[in-house]
Structure 1
Amino acid sequence: MLNDILKAIPIGFGLSFMIGPVFFMLLQTSIIKGARAAIAFDLGVIFGDIFFILVAYFGSQQLLEEIKDDPRLYFFGGAVLFSYGLISYIQKKKEKENNIESVDKKAISKKSTYGKLFIKGFFLNFINIGVLGFWLLILIGIGPQLDFDSKRIFNFFAVIILSYFITDLGKIFLAKQLQKKLTPKVILKIKHAVAIIIMICGILLLIKGFIPNKDLGIE
């Protein structure tokens, strides 16, 4: 049992620092909207991971192998991700420079309800089909080591999710320390930067749909 836990903790810790749209959105939410909002967003992300873990565990391995490499899913996820980033960028651009200084930070922090942030976190994680591939590979790799024992597998993934969430809490509260130093102008720049990063992630997903894994040198 202890050996299983020691294997799971580094995976959860490393997963928390995987660079992608969720990583940057979590930091942005923590800095701009506060720790509680970021936790709501992060819980949505985690529920997305739990959904994919359940699909990987209960689904047919052969079917999942076909799904995770289906280029149409990468096209869909990439297009949605790019569109989301583009719309966010355009919306922020519409905010006039001469109105920036009148922006109320408290109004910004309360703009989105916790429920909407939860859904946003789940949505951003859900449209990235690579997350399903990640959990499938973890399951295939660790299953034999856990003797395909359902209890051990449950405990293993529970520890991964828990260590992932605890690490995210650390990131959230560290990022929140920057909140007092932000001006409305800086807040807009952060939103623009995150929107651009999300668009880039969408483009990368689209490229992944066009180029097979073998041509990218990915096993």
Structure 2
Amino acid sequence: MIDDILAAIPLGFFLSFMPGAVFFVLLETSVIKGFRAALAFDIGVVLADIAFICLAYFSSYRLIQSIKDEPALFVFGGIILLTYGLISFIKQKRSSRNELVNQNSKEILKKDYLSLFIKGFVLNFINVGVLGFWLAIIITIGPQLDMEKSRMLTFFASVLGGYFLTDIGKILLAKQLRSKLTSRNIIKIKKVISIILMVFGLVLLAQGWAPSEERNYVIDRLENQD
């Protein structure tokens, strides 16, 4: 069991630093709204990962393969991210600087943790590539764990635990930047995050339109390994 935990923790640490929409929004939430708000957001992200792991583990392999390679799901997720980022960017452009200062001062104090939790869950769950990733991990790690439920549970709990603890460290570090918050910096942060969300939305759209062979390349390589 100890070996399984030690093998899982580095993977969780690595996952925490993988660039993506969730990565940047988590940092933004920590800087602008504080530790508890970012923690609520991150719990939603982790819950989406748990849902994907359970789906990949308990569903049949063929079903997961068909779901994760469905172009419409990539396009749907891409449209949501692109639209969300575009609306956020336009909102910042239309707001006056004074409105932003007042607006964000209220946001920092706002305790709407449920909406942040849902936001974290949705942002992670609409990325079908995450489901493909967890399926690949199960395919490669499962046989090494003899597909034993107890060892699988220990391994994935340790991965998510390492991921979550690393995220807490990132949140605490990002929180230190709050002392530098000015109206100008708030505007810049929100604009940059909006652009990043649009970029990742376009990436998902591109994946949806790409030939299925390209999306299957990594999984096929893993399956053919003896």
Q: TM-score range by the shorter chain?
A: over 0.9
Change beyond 3 A, Cα 1:50–1:199: same
Residue correspondence of structure 1 range 8-27 to structure 2 within 5 A: 8-27=8-27
Give the deviation of 1:124 after TM superposition. Answer: 0.1
Change in CA separation of 1:217 and 1:143 when aligned onto 2, cut-off 3 Å: closer
CA RMSD of aligned residues (A): 1.6
Shift of the alpha carbon at 1:185? 1.6
Worse-matched range after superposition: 116-125 or 3-12: 3-12
Matched, 1:170 2:172: no
Structure 1 distance, partners of 2:70, 2:191, is 31
Secondary structure at 2:19's aligned position in 1?
coil
- Residue by residue over 1:128-185, the C-alpha shift from the partner in whole angstroms, topping out at 9 and shown as x without a partner, is 0011001111011111000010000000000000000000000000000000111022
| Structural mapping, 1:14-93, within 5 Å | 14-93=14-93
Partner of 1:145: 144
Amino acid at match of 2:83: S
- Runs of 4+ aligned residues of structure 1 deviating over 6 Å after TM superposition are none
User: Residues 43 and 118 of structure 1 are in contact (CA less than 8 Å); yes or no, is this contact kept in structure 2?
Assistant: yes
User: Secondary structure, in 3 states, of the residue corresponding to 2:18?
Assistant: coil
| Amino acid of the structure 1 residue aligned with 2:188 | K
Could you tell me the percent identity over the aligned residues? 54
Provide the rounded CA distance (Å) in 2 between the counterparts of 1:127 and 1:216.
17
- Partners of 1:196 and 1:66 in 2: CA distance: 31
Alignment check: 8 A CA contact 1:68 1:129 kept: yes
1:2 deviates by 1.6
How far off is 1:3 after superposition? 1.4
Unaligned ranges ≥5, structure 2: 219-226
Report how far residue 110 of structure 1 moved. Answer: 3.0
3-state DSSP of counterpart to 1:168: helix
Q: Which residue of 2 aligns with 1:161?
A: 160
- Following superposition, the deviation at residue 198 of structure 1 comes to 0.3
Instruction: State the distance in 1 between where 2:54 and 2:100 align.
Output: 47
Contact 1:101 1:185 in 2 (8 A): no
Offset of residue 123 of structure 1: 0.5
Residue 18 of structure 1 and its aligned partner are, at CA, apart by 0.7
Q: Could you tell me which residue of structure 2 aligns to residue 131 of structure 1?
A: 130
- CA contact 1:21–1:124 (8 Å) conserved in 2: yes
**Contact residue 26 and residue 172 of structure 1 kept, 8 A:** yes
In the alignment, what sits opposite 1:180?
A: 179
Q: How many residues align?
A: 218
Q: Which amino acid is the alignment partner of residue 156 of structure 1? A: F
Read off the aligned partner of 1:185 and give its amino acid letter. Answer: R
- Corresponding residue number in structure 2 for 1:196: 195
Q: Residues of 2 paired with 1:218 and 1:181: CA distance? A: 44
